[in-house]
Amino acid sequence: MRQAGFPLGMLLLFLVAYITDYSIILLIKGGNLSGTSTYQSLVNRAFGMAGYVILSFLQFLYPFIAMVSYNIISGDTLTKVFQRIPGVGPENILAERHFVIMLTTILLILPLSLYRNIANLGKVSFSSLVLTIVILVIVVMRAATLGPLIPSTKNAWDFAQPNAIQAMGVMTFAFVCHHNSFLLYGSLEQPTINNWSRVTHVSVLFALFISAAFAVSGYITFTGYTQGDLFENYCRNDNLVTAGRFLYALTVILTFPIECFVTREVIANLFFGGTLSTIFHIVVTVCIVAASTGISLAYDCLGIVLELNGVIAAIPLVFIIPTACYLKLSEESWYHWDSIQSSVILITGTLMMIVGFVMAVIFPQDCSHGKEMFYCMPSNSSAYNVTVSANETYSQSPLFISSIL
């Protein structure tokens, strides 16, 4: 919302959701036209080995950069959580993001990532979804209590801002699920286009609602001060938000292994014929986790990571490849509605990818990683006082105590 402008940002969010919904269904239509049952085989049938290699690269790159962003988030949030423990100050090792990232990687992320069967991560994934709803409740509560006390920035409610294309990249990153579409389509009791369309409509609509709720609540609270990592905006002495930070970090830690599974599968399909021995399974997993961890240790600004992943990987996976495959394989006339829509989305996605990458590199968004925002200082008493008074209420609350536990 900050990058696009709030009114335009909301319109773009709905547009990205619509294109996501349309392209997921189009992907399955392309599979039916070509008699293929995977994204890779569909692209291979449409564009040969060159298309297959390009898709494999994007399918590896998207979850890999996502893993980098998850590590950045866990390092940012857990250091602030640990500093709320009595005796843990800014100089304590638990307040050092590099140590925290390494600790969570060794104790949680790597063991979960070593699972061979993605079905074993089903409960982990569901737990992550439940935690997301709880985090949303906290963000909405803070929009009501903290938002009115933080002054809006200049031009906060202008219709559009100049970085709208980068914003679409971040939105597309949030909606990508195309690499799993064929697997889910095959799991339906009756895998038909009509049934698949209904499942897709409900799923994307739910994702849109959650994304819009986070976007609106976060932006109306902080307007132009909004950071790429929303929890960087909240004051460190806010106990309710501390609980939210803890759950937020736990959510991304539980999501990391699912992305690792995808990257490992791409490597297995490209270089090992689809199957990894136990030794290679461990070696490849450790290499992937180590590489993503190393990058997240060296770079700590989340916003640019999300932008680049959106324009480099997510936009091609959502906008470009599904529509290009359909146009290549379909025998419909050029003026057929699906052909017209596919052509428009293909051209739009290509322009977005090029312009978005250039703008993300030339005009990267600023990052206040690790800094306390000005309204959290005691000299800015209004926001500071509401945090302190809220702490007195929430620290006695069973909800807060159970959340932080």
Q: What is the chain's Cα-based Rg? A: 22
Domain ranges of the chain: 6-404
325-349 average pLDDT score: 90
Tokens 């009114």 locate to: 7
Span 386-395, pLDDT tens digits? 555 555 544 4
Percentage of residues of the chain with pLDDT beyond 70 = 91
- Judged by DSSP in three states, 93 sits in helix
Span 84-116, pLDDT tens digits? 998 888 889 999 999 999 999 999 999 999 988
> For residues 371 and 147, what is the distance between their CA atoms, to the nearest angstrom?
19
Span 191-213, pLDDT tens digits? 999 999 999 999 999 999 999 99
Q: How far is C-alpha 44 from the chain's CA centre?
A: 27
Give every CB contact of residue 109 below 8 A, 6+ residues apart in sequence.
253, 256, 257, 260, 289
Tokens 């930070």 locate to: 245
CATH (residue range 6-404) = 1.20.1740.10
Mean pLDDT of the chain: 87
